[in-house]
Chain A
Amino acid sequence: MTARMPVITGLGAVTPLGLSFHDLWSALCQGKCGIDRITAFDPAGFTCQIAGQAPEFKIRDYVPKTIRKTTKLMSRDIELAIVAANEAFKDAGLKTKAFDEQDITINPERTAIILGAGLISCDLVELAPSVAKGAVDGKFDIRKWGTDSIETVTPLWLLKYLPNMLACHVGIIHDIQGPSNTITCAEAAGHLAIGEAAQIIARGDADMALAGGGEAKVNAIVHLRQCLNKRATVDYNDKPAQACRPFDSGAKGSVFGEAAACVILESTENAKNRGAKIYAQIAGLGQSCSINAKYESLEPDGKGVQYAIEAALADAGIKPEQLDLIIPHGTGIFTDDIAEAKGIRQALGDAADSIPVFPTKSMTSNTGAAAGAVDIIAACCAIKDGIIPAAKNCENINKECKLNIAKEQIKKNINYVLCTSYTYGGQTAAIVLKKYE
């Protein structure tokens, strides 16, 4: 069994904190914030005007010359995933078709790709000329659009917006021919994708996997959705760095952003045979569901979170007090944070008094389908460096959140980390990582 135990051997991330996972981790350790006023579109007419935007990059630099034309078919979500995947393979010391067609060190047929993706919303500016042509007297007329303007939309338009295209493009670039899936569980998608990839490796259907998630939430209509549903904070437009306040009594909502994060998973055997550096083992996976008729909020007693954590600990075969760090979902939505804290508390009991909790979204923003994978990377770095960074924007812990939020940076040996996530639709995930000995 140990031979098939999935381990993490490569990391890659593009986040509002930088274009590499090193940038992400050093920014988290320094308490930097990646949230600022939106520049992707003019946000003046929006209730929330801030977001986490990734630094600029040119996607052409990340796609092999021979297939560079395909960059025209890439939505922002796909671009982000490609950047993160490239870094993950490189960090793992692996050579794929993308880097040198003559010198490949992965086995394409035994490599899986499981990515989390969101609802890719279309680029409104791209669609607008055609839609505008379909208007009569300033009002959209579907018959006119059908007659006059559908044909002005670029022929391959739809392919940019299918969520599975993150995995398809990345798979083509690196020649990944094994099991391929796209997990569409919103903010839990990153964890669930990594969890599924770990299962695939553990059961022997692949020896290696690229897993993670990507989502570009800094898009007018995506942003609008979070504003309309009052999930995005409206109180900190002039203080973006203080806006996202997980578990803080001043929490007024989340801040959304764009990111992609990928890890390379391998069976322990595969990693050892090629002498790879190992960040951590995936020791346990737990899943459950929050059930709430008002599904835009987490159920107040946090039961789904509790069940997922209990399942993950059982899978890992450990007791709560063995945990050294918790990276929670912590969105900065007041009631959700309380519910999550309750769920964690119920699962861990009094052990929760002493286990440091480090929420990341105050710095990274809430990056949807990428969020869970971003946190797994933070967990790997914490294990490797023996550092738990200080939480940001959590000066006055909400009294109902009975958690041990990391107020100062802590240096210690970290053996087990618990990461949790949930969605407004209820899907809940918990993953336990273990230091590899």
Chain B
Amino acid sequence: MNEKTKNRVVITGMGIVCPLGNDVPTMWDNILNCRSGMNTTTIFDASTYPTKFCAEVKNYDITKFTKNPDLHKEGNRHSKFVVGAVAQACKQAKIDVETENPKDGIDRRKIGVYLGAGEGSVDNENFFNAIVQGWDETSEKMDWNKWAAVAFGKMQPSRELEQEPNMPAAHVSMLTGARGPIRSCLTACAASTQAIGETFKILQSGRADVMIAGGAHSMIHPLGIMGFNRLTALSTRNDSPETASRPFTASRDGFVIGEGAAIVILETLESAKKRGVEILAEVLGYGSSSDAFRVTDMHEEARGAVAAMKAALKDAKLSYKDIDYVSTHGTSTSENDSIETLAIKTVFKEEAKNTPVSSIKSMMGHLIGAAGATELITCILAIRDNVLPPTTNLNDPDPNLDLDYVPNKPRKADVNIVMKESFGFGGQNNVVIIRRYHD
């Protein structure tokens, strides 16, 4: 095994389907205008749930992005979203998709895919009704024959298979013909940052020339929202969905769940130069760690988060002093925002208060597996436009949280080097560092 070559790795394409728009310019315009992507839940009837709102993808039309929508028709919401995000990113990076004979000069065996992708929703109506029919309340036992009669009678083969978390990646390879390293990971809220980080390493080592990396997830379904509600992780500010995600405030009461897909094209510098495509940014460093503490809580001293941030800085051969902006995990949960602030203070020391940090989850919501990639795209745009995306709804700062959270409006700044951090439920932490590209 040879992992020694250290190619430079750059970003040459972006694509997004998210609660703030189904393309990158729309999403960025909404962020810079501090608009909210939240809405009353429409995907299923959540009217009696503790949380009745979320951040849904709206008006998504897959036919705008593929000639073969039928290939993806059985896919889950996020498998469909990822098709749109990949099509956009490939277009920008000048990678031919859906053509028999691609003319982009890239060997398909050198195009890889790495997604942080979620599981699909169960087939709700049939899933629940099979249980109702099968459950015997008197004996408190499941009659598996009754259950199987409903399940075999009603459930659809492809609908069931599509729930597996490897399926979004399957849709991507069908769309693009990618035949290189294909992987899919699911480290909860850190998944797509991890996917991008590992992609960076795969390209550094020369195992691929171009990779399609990012995330796709939708947990806006009856079991997903039930699960997060039971964990009391979601905001229940039902009277004001637009202001419910309020990271770093004293009144924060949980995250707002979103859905979507976000994709970046990573490429070796050599390949990007050879193909003459525009370079949007360079990837410099990646760090991954685990808390090894509790499945229910982050480590009190932010041990894992700090380790991942330090590992990314070391990998990038940078000091904390070099970072111009931190795109936080910033979920708007009591625990995350406190511990993340502590982590930043631990790593950035005397520079902590001088380093702007923000959470676009205040507008976007939390796209779980797709969150990190979504936020990384805003980091690329921050560098391009020299502007910092804000943390909105920050009207009552938590007195214990005293960093520069770029409150309530975007800010002009020189943005050259950016750190993106993501922390997964259970303690899996991932950090990626990118920089403005120059030779």
Contact = CB atoms under 8 A, between A and B. Distances in A.
B144 A199 contact: no
B64 interface: no
B172 to A, nearest CB: 9
Interface residues of B, number: 102
A225 B160 CA distance: 6
Interface string B146-176: 1111011001111011011111011001100
Chain B CB within 10 Å, residue with most, of A171, A227, A282: A171
Given A179-B289, A289-B178, A45 B157 contact: no
Contact of A146 (B49, B164, B202): B49
Interface string A208-243: 000000000000110011011110000000000000
Contacts of A132: 131-132, 135, 137
Interface stretch (A113-121, A351-359, A372-380): A113-121
Interface in B102-154: 109, 112-113, 117, 119, 122, 124-125, 127-129, 131-135, 137, 140-142, 144-149, 151-152
A185 B428 contact: no
A307 B112 CA distance: 13
Nearest to A144: B48
B183 A196 contact: yes
Chain B CB within 10 Å, residue with most, of A6, A46, A112, A304: A46
Contacts of A220: 142, 144, 147-148, 151
Nearest to B164: A119
B426 A162 contact: yes
B413 interface: no
A192 B128 contact: no
Contacts of B226: 150, 153, 157
A429 B179 CA distance: 11
Contact of B152 (A47, A135, A428): A47
B144 A43 contact: yes
B163 A42 contact: no
B291 interface: yes
Contact of B135 (A129, A163, A307): A129
Contacts of B151: 220-221, 224
Contacts of A42: 144-145
A287 to B, nearest CB: 4
B397 interface: no
Nearest to B315: A205
A138 interface: yes
Interface string B422-437: 0011111000000000
A243 B3 CA distance: 42
A169 B425 CA distance: 12
B69 interface: no
Contacts of A140: 125, 128-129, 131-132
Contact of A425 (B164, B202, B232, B303): B164
A155 B290 contact: no
B295 A169 contact: yes
B317 interface: no
Chain B CB within 10 Å, residue with most, of A151, A203, A428: A203
A22 B274 CA distance: 52
B180 A287 contact: yes
A183 B201 CA distance: 16
Nearest to B219: A158
Contacts of A285: 1
A159 B425 contact: yes
Given A150-B226, A183-B185, A293-B174, A177 B179 contact: no
Contact of A1 (B4, B155, B185): B4
B152 A224 contact: yes
Contacts of A224: 148, 151-152, 155, 160
B39 interface: no
Contacts of B424: 164
A89 to B, nearest CB: 14
Contacts of B178: 289
B222 interface: yes
Contacts of A227: 152
A199 B185 contact: no
B438 interface: no
Contacts of A167: 187, 290, 426, 428
B288 interface: yes
B404 to A, nearest CB: 30
A147 interface: yes
B144 A427 contact: no
A288 B107 CA distance: 12
Given A119-B119, A203-B4, A220-B144, 9 more contacts: A46-B148, A109-B307, A172-B292, A175-B292, A180-B187, A185-B184, A198-B1, A427-B183, A428-B182
30 contacts: A1-B2, A119-B119, A119-B165, A124-B134, A124-B147, A131-B131, A131-B135, A132-B137, A142-B124, A144-B48, A150-B229, A155-B230, A156-B230, A157-B226, A159-B231, A168-B427, A171-B427, A172-B427, A177-B303, A181-B194, A182-B428, A183-B183, A186-B166, A221-B127, A224-B148, A288-B182, A291-B179, A307-B109, A311-B109, A423-B166
